[in-house]
Amino acid sequence: MEQNKKDLSVIDQDLPLKNRLPLALMEKIEGYPENRRRPVNKIVFKNEYFQLTYNTKNVSFAISSNGDLVYSAIPYDTGRNYIQRAAIQYLLHPGEIRQYIERHQSTLEKYLMLSIFQVTGHRVMEDSIEVSHAYQAILQNPLLEIQIAGRLMQHDETGPLSANLAGKFLFSENVKTGIAGYISEYLTFVIQLTNSLPLMIDGKVVTLLDKQDSLLISNGLTSHSEIDSAVSLLPQEVQTGIKQGLVAAENIPMTNTQPLLRSKYGDELANVRKNYVAHSVAPAEAEKYFKNIHSIENRHLINVVSDIHTKDKNLPFVNRHFNILAGDISDSHAVDKEIEGLYVIGGHELVDVLPETTDHSDKQWDKWRPFFNYEWFTTLLKNPDEAWYRLPTGDHPFYEVVKTALEPRFPKMKLLNNASLIYNNVRYIGLTIPVALTKRKQMQQRFILAALEKLLGEDTAIPTVIVSHAPLFNELSLLSESSSAYNKAYVCDEPKIEQLFQQYNIIGAIHGHHHIPASSRRFNKVQFAGKKIFVVCSIYSKVNTGFELMSLLNEQG
C-alpha cells in the first residue's frame, strides 16, 4: 500500500491539474512504465490497436491508433472523424442511423450510379437494378451502413464527395479498403474504454465525466449507454471481439473483421498513394446534382449558429425563437425581417455592408468616407483576404458604422457591438472580434479587458455568456491544436481577464470563425479561471442549422 502511494505521488508531480483526475485514471497512468519517459502524452489505456492518451499540457484526452493500423486504403480519405462519429451514434441509436440513410436514398442512388460507372465504365440509371442491389447491400452490412452514414454526414457538412466513390459506397470495393476492420476494432476499443473509466466519447472528443455532465452522457458513449441492441446487429465476429474486450482490461487477441496493417501491406499502400489520381470534382460544381433533404426549420429555443456565408440574399434556415448569430452570416447583402435574437460582427460583415456600387462618388459611400485614408480600409475594398489581419481592434468607430448599416436588414435582431443584453435571466455580452489578431494579441486583450470591465458592471451574480466571432483566446476556443489555423501563442496573457472570470458568474463563451465541422463537436467544457466554462462553436451546414444552447444553460442552472 505504501509503495502504491509512492508511485502515485510521482504521477502527481508529472500531471498539472492533478486533482481533476480520478484515482482510477491516475492508477491506469501509473501502470504504464513508458509514461515515466513521457512528459506530456501519458498513456491511460490501450489494447492491441488503439490507445487513449492524456495530454498533461492542455489537459485533454485523445484516442489514436497505433502505427500499424490503417484507417483506409483510399488515399487522402478525409472521412474518419465522420465515420467514427457515425459508429458512436450507431451504438446509441441504430434505428435513427438507418432512418438517416433512408432519408438520403436519392443522394445515395446518385453516388452508387457514379460508383458503378467508376468500376465498370458502364453508365446505369439511378432506378436501375444495379443501383437497387448496391443500395440493399448497404442496409445488409452494419459496418458498411456505419460508413455510409458517416459519408452522408460529410456530404451534408462539406458538400458532395467525388473521389473514389466506388471504395466508399460499393460493398464489393469497400471490403478492399480495410475501413470495416478499422471500425470493428474502434468499436471494441471504445466500448472497452468506457466500461473501464468515467469517460464520454462522441467519435472524436473524449471527455472526463462528472456528476453534472448529463448533456455529455446523452450525446456520447459512456458506461451508462444502452448499446446491447445495437451490438446484436453487428457481425458475429465483431460481437465476439467486443465481448472478449470486456473480459479483461487490455491486449486480448481479437477474432473480428481483419484490419488493414502496415506491417503486411505497407509497400502496396505506398504504391497506391504514389500512383493515385483522385479525379475529384469541386463540391460547388457537384452541388447542383444533389437536393437538400433536411428541413430548413429549426425549433431551438436559443439557437446558436455562425459562418453561414449565404450567397443568395436569404438565410438558409428558419427559427422563430431566439437566435445567436456569431458573425460571417452573409456574403450577399442578405435581409431577414423576422429573425430575432442577437448578432455580433464578423469579418465578412465588414465587406457585406459596403455599397454594391463601385462609384465612390455615390452618396451611399458618404458614411464610409472617414475611413478612406486608412490602409486597412483601402485593402478591405481591393482584397479583403489581405486585410483581415490589418483590421483595428474592436473599439474602433468603424464597427459602429458597420452596426448601423446592418440593423435595417435585421430589424428584430439586437446588434451587439461591444454591448450587452439580458434574455431569460442570462446576460449576453457581444464583443466585436472579427478575426484573431495573433500578432497584436496584447492590444486585442487590452481591448477585451476594457470592454468586459465596462459591460460586466456591478452585478457579479447574473449568469453571463460572452459572444464573439473569433474566439477570445485559445483557452476558450474549440479549434484543435492539429489545425493549420491553430497558433499556440494565441493564449490569454492578461491576468486581469482571468480575474474577471473568477469574480463574475461567466458560464460560457460562444464563437465561430474557424469553420469547425459538427463532427469535431460543437461544444466543450473547459477549465479556465478555476472553474468549468462551456464553449460553443456552431457552424452552419445543411445538417446543422444551429446548436440548442438551452441544454447547456439548464445544466448551469
Confidence class for position 293, pLDDT limits 50, 70, 90? confident
What is the predicted pLDDT for the residue at 256?
40
For the chain, the domains span 2-65, 69-293, 294-556
Pairing of strands 199-201, 50-55: unpaired
pLDDT at 12 over 60: no
The span from the CA of 224 to the CA of 354, in Å, is: 53
Percent of residues, the chain, with pLDDT higher than 70: 91
Q: Are 490 and 442 in contact (CB under 8 A)?
A: no
The alpha-helical segments, DSSP class H, found in 63-194 are 80-92, 94-103, 105-120, 129-139, 142-158, 165-169, 171-174, 179-194
- Give the model confidence (pLDDT) of 258-280 as tens digits: 788 888 888 777 777 777 666 67
Instruction: Over range 190-217, report the average pLDDT.
Output: 83
pLDDT at 60 over 90: no
- Give the model confidence (pLDDT) of 15-28 as tens digits: 444 445 778 888 88
Among 49-58, 91-100, 409-418, the range scoring the smallest mean pLDDT is 49-58
What is the predicted pLDDT for the residue at 348?
96
User: What is the chain's mean pLDDT, rounded?
Assistant: 88
Confidence class for position 6, pLDDT limits 50, 70, 90? very low
Q: Are 421 and 428 in contact (CB under 8 A)?
A: yes
Instruction: Over range 176-199, report the average pLDDT.
Output: 93
Confidence class for position 216, pLDDT limits 50, 70, 90? low
Q: Are 503 and 462 in contact (CB under 8 A)?
A: no
What is the predicted pLDDT for the residue at 315?
95
* CA-wise closest residue to 433 among 445, 422, 424: 445
Instruction: Over range 522-538, report the average pLDDT.
Output: 92
In this structure, the number of other CB atoms found within 10 A of the CB of residue 415 comes to: 23
Among 169-178, 281-290, 443-452, 520-529, the range scoring the smallest mean pLDDT is 281-290
What is the predicted pLDDT for the residue at 278?
66
Confidence class for position 210, pLDDT limits 50, 70, 90? confident
What is the predicted pLDDT for the residue at 339?
97
Q: Are 174 and 167 in contact (CB under 8 A)?
A: yes
pLDDT at 1 over 50: no
Higher model confidence: residue 430 or residue 196? Answer: 430
Look up cell 451534408; give the residue: 156
Look up cell 452522408; give the residue: 152
| Alpha-carbon distances of 396 from 432, 436, 437, 443, rounded to whole Å | 10, 16, 14, 12
pLDDT at 352 over 60: yes
Instruction: Over range 171-179, report the average pLDDT.
Output: 93
Q: Are 21 and 15 in contact (CB under 8 A)?
A: yes
Confidence class for position 205, pLDDT limits 50, 70, 90? confident
- Give the model confidence (pLDDT) of 374-406 as tens digits: 999 999 999 999 999 999 999 999 999 999 999
What is the predicted pLDDT for the residue at 251?
42
Q: What's the grid cell of residue 192?
A: 472497452
Domain with residues 294-556, CATH architecture = 4-Layer Sandwich (3.60)
pTM value is: 0.78
* CA-wise closest residue to 256 among 305, 301, 189, 308: 189
What is the predicted pLDDT for the residue at 358?
87
Confidence class for position 76, pLDDT limits 50, 70, 90? confident
DSSP 364: G
Residue 169 has, within 13 A of its CA and on its CB side, a CA count of 30
